[in-house]
Amino acid sequence: MMDIAARTDQQRPLLFIHVSAILGGAEKAFLDLLKQLPAPVRANSYVLMPEVGPLQLELTDLVPKNNLSVRPLPKLFSQGTRKRPLWSLLNMLLSLPQMFQYLWSLIHWIREFQSPSLYVHGIKFHMISLAVRPFYQGPLIWHLQDFFPELPFVKLYLRAISLVSSGPDLIICNSQAVLLGMKKNLPKSWKTRLICVHNAVDVNEFSAALVNQRNHLGARHHPVRIAMVAMLTPWKGQEVFIEALADLHRRQADLLFEAEIIGDEVYKTAGESGFKVQLQKKIEELGLSHKIKLRGFIREVPQVLKQADIVVHCSTLPEPFGKVIVEAMSSECAVIATAAGGVPEIIDHRVDGILVRPGNIQDLSQALELLIREPELRTQLGTRARQKVLAKFSATQFAASIQQALKEGDLI
């Protein structure tokens, strides 16, 4: 097989369609892939997004400015969420006239290229790509960064669309947990190949080079720094984090710690807005304003992690992967994470991190107490965590695995 960099003259245009312009885990994985692609391939890559946002700014350093396009989704369709399936279904039905117009404009855009490879991120665009598949010549790749929604109307849509659409040629799943979920939903007529490629991290960007800023003398001498980095949405577990810290403070008032919650409200779907105000109110009601700070969105996450002693991940629902976990591990932080979804594929309990039950305040409180009181354990976990990331979760390995899968299927 000819090397990808050597076949640019005959390479298909690579059309990326991304579901948002925020900077969450899926978007960072997308950037990790683009950064590792050879420059000639990036020059022949095009990105379509439904909105303007931070991702667009990051992309300007990777692909030509003229290769970036923004086409807003119909508002009612874009507000769909699996948390309110019936409401979402109604909105989707009401948006059908606008969706037909959007599909036609999308087909027209794709047809401007000769036999392109369509590389799609995001459940909404996965569904849309099946509708446009019969109208263009070229491969279809899904990058699945979330559990596929097992909703009746989604299953009905897949069954119906499989009568006219052959489905994706390749589905890249970010964990084995996501892959197994997707496998159950594939129509039998599709000949789709599924692979697991764990998300990864730039080990040079997320490193412990400045870790000497940390003081490992113990909780009796300085406040232990605890960070939670996640978008502000209920299922990410910020409320659980706050409650666990409150429980710890009540039980062990002698422990010195300071905590910060990094992230902001980014979703425009129903049930998400106002969560930041709700969290601030809870912190104040618990009398923890001097202990817990809401920092909002911070672009320089590597600097945050370099200054943290402990990083907490406490999603209340199964996490498809948990990219921030790997970022923290790469930064030699001691990590506490919930044992559900793809997370156990990343962390070995008490070897390179601590696993707790999702939504369990007591578990999290006790794990925090353990790591605050034992700086040596924090150091051991952080050292082993960095070693694991270097061995299994580097961005170069991630991108190489995807490129190899695309080449093997002659998809690029």
At 71-102, the pLDDT tens digits run 998 876 666 666 666 666 676 777 778 889 99
Domain boundaries, the chain: 4-200+394-408, 211-392
- Please give the model's pTM, rounded to 2 decimal places: 0.88
- The pLDDT tens digits for 168-223 are 999 999 999 999 999 999 999 999 999 999 999 999 999 975 444 454 444 456 89
> Would you say 107 and 131 are in contact if contact means Cβ atoms under 8 Å apart?
no
Domains 4-200+394-408 and 211-392 alike in fold: yes
- The pLDDT tens digits for 289-303 are 999 999 998 888 999
Report the alpha-carbon distance of residue 172 to residue 69 in Å, rounded. Answer: 24
Looking at the structure, give the CATH architecture of the domain made up of residues 211-392. Answer: 3-Layer(aba) Sandwich (3.40)
> Taking the alpha carbons of 248, 250, 256, 262 in that order, is the dihedral positive or negative?
positive
What pLDDT is stored for residue 218 in this prediction?
45
Report the alpha-carbon distance of residue 125 to residue 109 in Å, rounded. Answer: 15
> Would you say 75 and 97 are in contact if contact means Cβ atoms under 8 Å apart?
no
Cα dihedral 315→317→322→325 (10° resolution): 30
Report the alpha-carbon distance of residue 406 to residue 358 in Å, rounded. Answer: 36
Looking at the structure, give the CATH architecture of the domain made up of residues 4-200+394-408. Answer: 3-Layer(aba) Sandwich (3.40)
Q: Identify the CA nearest to 368 among candidates 407, 306, 282, 310.
A: 310
Tokens of 169: 């040629």
- Please state the φ and ψ torsions of residue 313, each to the nearest 5 degrees: -120, 120
